Structure 1
Amino acid sequence: MRKFWESIYSPNYISGYNPFILKDMNKAIERMVSAINNRKKIVVYGIPNVDGLCAISSLILVLKYLNADIEYVVHDDSSVKSKITTKDIINNVHFLGGELLIALGIDLKSSEEEELCKNLGIDLIVIENRDINYEYDHIYLNPNQKGCQYRYKNLSISGLTFKLMQAIAIYYNIKSINKYLDLILIGEKSAKTPKKGENFVIIKEGMKFLINTNNYGLRSIMEAYNMISINEESIDKIIDVITPTINVVTMTDNARIIIELLITNRKERSEQITKYLNKSKENV
């Protein structure tokens, strides 16, 4: 596996980058492969900030590439203390027919929600990055949890989502997984992660993919602002454009529009959304 991993990640391979070193990653991939191959409904559940939206969008793109049956939900609160409640599970996950819930940057409120998922037949994967001193019964990816040997502890949620995407790529032999670093770079930069270790590699490699991006949404933003090169200023501008606002519509609705921009495969639609977002920013 190491030789294959080197070939799809980076010529500057460091053994610590292996996503399967993350505790519970093997379990997570087993659940995801079962859901993908058996066309079970997967619900990606994330938060309405730029890091969260880049995480949701990049994972959706990979799952769509694998022809997964997928829906997504944007939580209506971006605060760090916000959690998924029983109401959220019933109204936003079970209502969609969800059989696998992948929560990015947000955990369940209590064991009551975990029990509800079990009773409703919903498998659960949670990705977080925060200091904790207790263990979970569900599949939980967090480099700071007890027993996790992963070396790089300060990845953003989009960065950790990319680890899940890398593990999927290894299983399905997807050799183009690095092209999604354009979105991951933006998520990492918005989260202001330290520019060292794996974060440094993501930012460095992501810059190469961003300037040549084939993401219609990112390309439309770059064209709208005449970005012929990528630097700190241009990345900050992209972050500003895709930061949800609450002036005209709710943050959640605005976040869904941004996700549509980042996952669309239609150039005309991406240009239309970019113009809308630009107009919204002007009215703030």
Structure 2
Amino acid sequence: MPPAPTTTLRQQRLGAELRKLRERAGLTSTAAARLLGAPQARISNIEAGRYAVSGDRVRTLARNYGCSDEAYVDALAGMTGARKRGWWEEYRDSLPSGLLDLAELEHHATALRVAVTVHMPGLLQTSEHARATMREAVPPLRPYEIEHRVSYRVKRQAILFEGTPTPYTAIVHEAALHMGFGGPDVARAQLRLLLEMGEQPTITVLVLPFGETGFPAAGQPITYATGPVPQLDTVVLDTDHGCEFLDAEAQLNRYRSVVERMESRALPEPKSRDVIHRIAQAL
């Protein structure tokens, strides 16, 4: 297969995992290429995500590297094949690549947990709330750029409803419920949407109240995307300079613990709904 014209986050992750396996086996890329019967450049391109590989080729590499974790190898093989265009590709020329990577990650995740402190979870936002927050971007976005991003954010929500909905847990700090982006009408509609979304069987909305004495996060929005096996989980941090994707074992362990601690300190669903309803009524 020829090198891919563009490299997606998923392809990069597959290549990175294959590189980890090779390095754990103590093999150089030259030695790995010799075992595969291919030029060294082929291994380098595969590990950089520039060269598409088949599931059989991944299994051969894993066998050469002495990996006996069948579930892990099966999951890696499932990440291969011909490059398929997801709906997010239509935004390739109008949005930063990190946003497209986020949509691709959400599409393939087996479950999502999100923890936010100021903004509403992206997949639970009304279009008016999203538009109001994007007007606050620095540097300012042009009107057409805002509309591109709003339509993209709304399309991302499809994973919560279409086909087999992705299980989704949102841990929302009470501060976010009071922000009031867009004015009272927009804020009220946003809170009502949170309540409606929380009624879906695969969506859980939990509130971390002001009265909680501990706060185990740094403040930035966190998305913990569960993969088909724990080794393929991914953390996404929403920063001022864009999405930051983390997948090192130590990073996964840290943020898994952070999200779990936040979830344990949040109010149960019925009490969370009461808080959201009370704030909406006060607007």
TM range (shorter): under 0.3
Scaled by the length of structure 2, what TM-score is found?
0.26
Scaled by the length of structure 1, what TM-score is found?
0.26
Higher relative contact order (CA 8 A, sep 6+): 1
Structure with bigger gyration radius: 2
